[in-house]
Amino acid sequence: MNRIIISEKGGFFMKSINDILISRWGPAITGAFVGAAASLLVFFGNPGNMGICVACFTRDIAGALGLHRAGVVQYLRPEIPGFILGSFLAAFLSREYRPRSGSSPIVRFFLGFFAMIGALIFLGCPWRAYARLAGGDWNAIAGIGGLAVGIGVGIIFLWNGFSLGRASKSPAWAGAVMPLAAAALLALLFLRPLFGPEGTGPVFFSKTGPGAAAAPVAIALGAGLLVGWMAQKSRFCTVGALRDLIMLRDGHLFSGVAAFLVSAFVVNLLLGQFKPGFEGQPVAHMNHLWSFIGMALSGLAFTLAGGCPGRQVIMSGEGDGDASVFVLGMLIGAAFAHNFALASSGAGVTANGMTATVIGLVFCLAVGGLFRMKMD
């Protein structure tokens, strides 16, 4: 009898939490949690102003898997698998697990590819852009401005009937591929198996640089699971926030961005991590023009694909095959960015990176102009 009562109380508690997250306050609550978590993860060991960055963490995972050999950015960040598994559990337990796919997958792959190129020109995804600003990095302002412009251009395409087509229902097992991949990444992180005559493993871990800076695995994974759960229920999205604000005059999702900024700023202030200025900021450069252009590319790609990188990762966990393809595009984009000297560094932007950004803009503009369907 006691077990039944405890089970009922636990179920009621979870239902109450989920009801709050799907309410009008959900994005703000999620944003506040993500912002606080981003600052706290820096305190616990993640790189400066990089407590949470979907682009940077995906880049680190690509390096850890040997897809690129930039030795300072190789680590199996547990936050990303945490996002996917947290989202999967939230969707599955609330019967929102609905596998679907088939909406222009190859186009979505290259949107993810070029979104990553733009993010690594700036050195951060939208989540990190706001985290950098909340940490006092004024260089982030240029990136956020570019992000807004890219979203604005994407909105123009949406107003003119842009669509990548509708997804269709997929078999139940198809939606489990990304959660299984996330579990495999965690297994590699914990087991660190070694293969080959030289005793080298299939997984590489940085010994210096940003890749060597990491919060304890239990804390990072726990934060990732909670963010995945909360973001799945609340539909938290930093790109959708500005899109809905402009297109629909709806500030529901934008409240999450505002809460993120305030929460991250307050925690940074309390922990002594708020260091305002342009120079000497961690994992950042001062080429504001290309920060703006890089994030304009990312903002456009994210808008055409239907959500920021965090939202794409979350959707991949709840069974969205199209979002999974976008995430894989980001993973390969990160590998190309470092193998072909496209990614920026604290020293600035590379010539190859500038060229790739222009190519990405041409691609995204072509996609936006060519994929039009009449609005019903």
Average pLDDT, the chain: 94
314 vs 234: CA distance, rounded Å: 11
Q: Residue 192's pLDDT band (boundaries 50, 70, 90)? A: confident
Tell me what pLDDT residue 15 has: 73
Task: Find the range with the poorest average confidence among 6-15, 89-98, 276-285, 323-332.
Answer: 6-15
Supply the pTM of this predicted model: 0.94
Locus of tokens 């994210």? 302
Q: CA–CA separation, 293 vs 252, rounded Å?
A: 28
Cα 101 to Cα 83, 171, 176, 329: the distances in Å are: 20, 10, 13, 15
Mean pLDDT of 130-152: 98
Instruction: Tell me the residue ranges of DSSP E strands in the chain.
Output: 100-101, 168-169
Q: What is the pLDDT of residue 331?
A: 98
- Cα→Cα distances 104→56, 302, 305, 323, 330, Å: 26, 15, 10, 11, 16
**pLDDT at residue number 375:** 40
Give the H or E element holding residue 299: helix 288-305
Q: State which H helix or E strand residue 176 sits in.
A: none
Terminal Cα-to-Cα distance of the chain (whole angstroms): 55
- Rounded Cα distance, 331 and 334, in Å: 5
pLDDT of residue 18: 86
SS3 track for 243-275: HHHHHCCCCCCHHHHHHHHHHHHHHHHHHCCCC
pLDDT for the residue 374 = 46
**375 or 188, which is more confident?**
188
Cβ contacts of 351 within 8 Å, gap of 6 or more: none
Question: What average pLDDT score do residues 13-36 get?
Answer: 90
Which pLDDT band holds residue 200 (cuts at 50, 70, 90)? low
Residue 241: which of 254, 226, 260, 222 has the closest Cα?
254
Rounded Cα gap, residues 244 and 267, in angstroms: 28
Residues 339-367, mean pLDDT to the nearest whole number: 98
**Is residue 2 pLDDT above 70, yes or no?**
no
3-class SS at 168?
strand
Q: How many degrees, rounded to 5, is the angle at CA 115 between CA 113 and CA 117? A: 75
pLDDT of residue 71: 94
